[in-house]
A and B are shown apart, each in its own frame.
Chain A
Amino acid sequence: MNDMRPVERAVDTNEIKFDCKDCQVYYGEKHAIIDVDVKIEDKTVTAFIGPSGCGKSTFLRCLNRMNDTIDICRVEGQFLLDGEEIYDKRVDPVQLRAKVGMVFQRPNPFPKSIYDNIAYGPRIHGLAKNKAELDEIVEKSLRRGAIWDEVKDRLDAPGTGLSGGQQQRLCIARAVATEPEVLLMDEPCSALDPIATSQVEELIDELRENYSVVIVTHSMQQAARVSQKTAFFHLGNLVEFGETGQIFTNPKDPRTESYITGRIG
C-alpha cells in the first residue's frame, strides 16, 4: 500500500472534472445504478471495468445525458461538471454534449464524406467563421485522431468506406472536433482487431494531454494499459475505485480480486 501513495497524491493534484455522488439510475422498475460515487479528474484516463450488464455503460451515458433519449430511464443524484449540476432544469443537453463528447462502441460515421463527418460538429456549433477556418479544424482534428495521413488525399470519400479501425479513429476525430473537455468512450475497441486496437489505445494516451477521458472497457489488459484510474462496477454498484496500479495489483475488495483473476464476470 505504501508504495502507491506518492502516485495517488500526484494524480490528486489534477482538477476534478466530474463529481458524482449518490447516483441512482432506474430503467422502469429496475435499479440499474446504485449509490455510485465517482470523481473523474482532468487530464486523466479513467477506466470503467466490470462484467456485462453491471451498469458501466449506463453510468457513462449519464455523464452526457445520452440516457435522456430513453423514455423509461430515470436518473437521480448529483452529477457536477466543473461544479455545475448537469441534470439541472436550466441545462440544455445539447450544450452539455458539446462539452462532453462521446465515442461509441461500434464505429458510427455519418454516411457522408470524411470532411463532412468532422466538419458537422463545428458547423452546428458555429466554431468556424469561414471555409479556411473549418479546413483548419478538420485537419487539426484528423491529426489528433491519428488518421490524417491516411485520409488527407481523400477527404471527399465517404466515411463509411474506411476500415473499422479507421472509422473508429474518424469518430474520435469527430468527437474532438467540437473541442470537448471530457471525452466519453464506450468500449471503443470492442469491434476492432488487435492492430487497430493498439492504434486507438496509443491515441487515447495522447488525448490525455488535453482531455479528461472516460473509457468503458471489457478488457482488463486494456484498462491496465491506458488508464490511470480504474472503477470496478458489479451489479450496479461501484465496488472499488482507485489507482489503476493498485486495483490490479492490490485490490481491496474480494469481488474485484475475483473479477481480475477471472473468477466472476
Chain B
Amino acid sequence: MTDAIAQTPDEPRRVDVGSLMAHDERTRRRNRAERRFQLYGLTAIGVGLLALVVLLVSILSQGLPAFQQTFITLDVHLDATKLDKNGTRDIEEIKKVSTFGYAPLIKAAAEAKMEELGINPEEFGVTGKDAQAMISKEAAAQLRRFVIANPDRIGDTVEFEFLANGRIDGYYKGRVTMESAERDSNVSPGQLQLADALKQGGALSKHFNWSFITAADASENRPEAAGIGVAIIGSLYMMIVVLCLALPIGVAASIYLEEFAPTNWFTDLIEVNISNLAAVPSIVFGILGLAIFINYAGLPQSAPIVGGLVLTLMTLPTIIISTRASLKSVPPSIRDAALGVGASKMQSVFHHVLPLAMPGILTGTIIGLAQALGETAPLMLIGMVAFVREFPSAPPEGFFDPASALPVQVYNWTQRADPAFVERASGAIIVLLLFLLCMNMIAIILRRRFERRW
C-alpha cells in the first residue's frame, strides 16, 4: 500500500479523465491499437481475396478454352470397296478393317473439300500428307466407330465433324502463333494459313466440346481428343463407396462414443486416436490401402472400390469428429425430456437427438466427401494413375473395373509435354471445383433447411 492510499483510505481511486471532450493519452493509445488491429484484419482478408482472384483468373483463363474445340467438317464417302470388300455387310468382317484402313477415306474427303472450296494446299507450301495431319489422329477411330455402329451406311456419303489437330486448335486459342510455328516441327505456318482458308470456306469452326466432359483420356499425341469422362465416373463411383461406408460407420461410431460409451481410459484412447487419424497425411492411407486391400485382400488395382475404401478410411475421422460435435450441441434438456417420459436411451437418441443433429452430420459428411473428392496422393499408390481408355461398366461390377479420378487426371495431364494438356488440366480443375462448389452448396442448403431452434 502506498502512503497516499493509507492517508485517505475512504477516498475512491478514480480515473482522472478531465474533460470528456478531450481524449487522454491512454484512451488515444487504446484507440490507436484498435484501429491498428482492424487494419491487420482487413489486410489479411485483402491478401486472401487477392490470392483467390489470382487463382480463379489463372485457372479460368487457362481452363475455359478446354471446353471449346476446333472442328473440321468433311463429307466422307464410306467406300464399300475399302470397308467391306466382299459386300457381305458382316459386322465381324467390317471390324477387321483397322483405323489404318479408314485413313485414305479421310484423305480423299479432305482433298475433295479443298477442291470444292477452291483451295490448293500447294499454294501454302503444304503437302497432301501435311494437310491430312491437320485433322486429328482420332478422326479415323471416330469414323470406324460410326461405321461399326451403322454398317448399313456403307457406300453413302456422310458429313462428319472431325477434331482438328491440337496445334491447329491451339492456333485459334492463341497458344500457337505464326512465329512459334516457324520453330515448331509439328506444325508449319503454311498449315495455319491453310486452316484460315478452310475457316473462311466454312469447313473449320470452333464451338463447345461436349466430348471433353464425356470422352476418355487420350494418348500423348492427340490432346484434342482427351476428356474427363472416365475420371468423372471413377470419382463418382468412389464417392458412392465412401458415402455408403463412411456415413453409417462414422455415425454409428460417434453415437456410441458420444451417447453410450462410459468415460474411461479406453474411450479416451479411442478419442485421442481419432483426432490423430484426422491429421495423418493422406499418402499414409494410400500405403495402407496398397498393403491391405490390394496385396493382402487381393482386390484389383486402379479400381474405384479400393480407392473408395482408402478414402473411406481417410474420411471417417472427419465425419466422426463433426458428428460428435453436432451430437454434443443438442441441448441435454432434450435428452432429459425424452428420458423423463420414459424413453429408453436408444429411443431418446434416435427419436430426438439424431434428428436434431442431422444437419450438422450431413454438413460434416459432405465436407468429408468433398475432401475425399479432391484427394490425389493415396489414389496414386493404389494404381489409379494408370492410363484408362475403357469406361468402367455399370455398378456393382464397375466398382472393380479400372478407372481414373478427377484430381489424378489433372496430375497426369500436367505431366505431359504438349502444352495443350495444360489447358485440359485447367479445364478438369474447373470441373472439379464446380463439383466441390455444388457439394458445399448442398451442405449449406441442408443446414439452412433442417436447422431448428430450441
Interface residues of B in 325-339 (CB under 8 A from A): 331, 333-339
* Nearest A-chain residue to B341, judged by Cβ: A121
With A106-B333, A108-B333: A174-B341 Cβ-Cβ less than 8 Å: yes
Tell me, yes or no, whether A249 is within 8 Å of chain B by CB. no
B369 to chain A, nearest CB (A): 27
Q: Which of A69, A103, A124 lies in contact with B347, CB distance below 8 A?
A: A124
Q: For chain B, which range describes its interface: under 10, 10 to 19, 20 to 34, or 35 or more residues?
A: 20 to 34
Interface residues of A in 101-141 (CB under 8 A from B): 101-104, 106, 108-111, 120-121, 124-125
Q: For chain A, which range describes its interface: under 10, 10 to 19, 20 to 34, or 35 or more residues?
A: 20 to 34
Q: Which residues of A contact B454 (CB under 8 A)?
A: 111, 160
Q: Which of B333, B334, B336, B342 lies in contact with A94, CB distance below 8 A?
A: B342
Q: Which of A69, A108, A178 lies in contact with B337, CB distance below 8 A?
A: A108
* In contact, A98 and B453 (Cβ under 8 angstroms): no
What 0/1 pattern do residues 415 to 438 of B give for CB contact below 8 A with A? 000000000000000000000000
Q: Which residues of A contact B452 (CB under 8 A)?
A: 111, 160
* In contact, B340 and A120 (Cβ under 8 angstroms): no
Q: Which of A97, A106, A108, A171 lies in contact with B342, CB distance below 8 A?
A: A97
A144 to chain B, nearest CB (A): 15
What 0/1 pattern do residues 29 to 56 of B give for CB contact below 8 A with A? 0000000000000000000000000000
Tell me, yes or no, whether A71 is within 8 Å of chain B by CB. yes
A121 to chain B, nearest CB (A): 4
Interface residues of A in 230-260 (CB under 8 A from B): none
Q: Which of A69, A71, A160, A175 lies in contact with B341, CB distance below 8 A?
A: A175
- Tell me, in angstroms, the Cα distance from A108 to B333 when the chains sit together: 6
Q: Which residues of B contact A64 (CB under 8 A)?
A: 340
Tell me, yes or no, whether A13 is within 8 Å of chain B by CB. no
By DSSP majority rule, is chain A's interface helix, strand, loop, or mixed?
A: helix
Q: Which residues of A contact B338 (CB under 8 A)?
A: 110, 120
Q: Which of A71, A94, A109, A175 lies in contact with B343, CB distance below 8 A?
A: A94
Tell me, yes or no, whether B157 is within 8 Å of chain A by CB. no
Tell me, yes or no, whether B351 is within 8 Å of chain A by CB. yes
* Nearest B-chain residue to A104, judged by Cβ: B336
* In contact, A120 and B351 (Cβ under 8 angstroms): yes
* In contact, B337 and A110 (Cβ under 8 angstroms): yes
With A71-B262, A111-B454, A160-B453: A104-B333 Cβ-Cβ less than 8 Å: yes
What 0/1 pattern do residues 50 to 79 of A give for CB contact below 8 A with B? 000000000000001010010100000000
B358 to chain A, nearest CB (A): 12
With A108-B333, A108-B336: A71-B263 Cβ-Cβ less than 8 Å: yes
What 0/1 pattern do residues 337 to 374 of B give for CB contact below 8 A with A? 11111111001000110001000000000000000000
Interface residues of B in 151-205 (CB under 8 A from A): none
B95 to chain A, nearest CB (A): 65
A3 to chain B, nearest CB (A): 39
Q: Which residues of A contact B335 (CB under 8 A)?
A: 69
A60 to chain B, nearest CB (A): 12
- Tell me, in angstroms, the Cα distance from A98 to B344 when the chains sit together: 10
Q: Which residues of B contact A171 (CB under 8 A)?
A: 337
With A108-B333, A110-B334, A111-B454: A66-B342 Cβ-Cβ less than 8 Å: no
- Tell me, in angstroms, the Cα distance from A66 to B454 when the chains sit together: 22
With A111-B454, A160-B453, A160-B454: A95-B337 Cβ-Cβ less than 8 Å: no
* In contact, A97 and B339 (Cβ under 8 angstroms): yes
Q: Which residues of B contact A108 (CB under 8 A)?
A: 331, 333-334, 336-337
A188 to chain B, nearest CB (A): 12
Q: Which residues of A contact B356 (CB under 8 A)?
A: 111
Q: Which residues of B contact A109 (CB under 8 A)?
A: 337
A83 to chain B, nearest CB (A): 21
Can you offer 13 A-B residue contacts whose CB atoms are under 8 A?
A: A69-B335, A71-B262, A101-B340, A108-B331, A108-B333, A110-B337, A110-B338, A120-B343, A124-B341, A124-B342, A171-B337, A174-B341, A175-B341
- 9 A-B pairs with the lowest CB-CB distances in the bound complex, closest first: A98-B342, A108-B333, A121-B341, A102-B340, A97-B342, A108-B337, A111-B452, A94-B344, A111-B454
Seen from chain A, the residues whose Cβ lies within 8 Å of a Cβ on chain B are 64, 66, 69, 71, 94-95, 97-98, 101-104, 106, 108-111, 120-121, 124-125, 160, 171, 174-175, 177-178
Contacts A104-B333, A109-B337, A121-B342 supplied; 12 other A-B pairs, CB < 8 Å: A66-B340, A69-B335, A71-B263, A98-B341, A101-B340, A108-B333, A108-B334, A110-B334, A120-B341, A160-B452, A175-B341, A177-B341
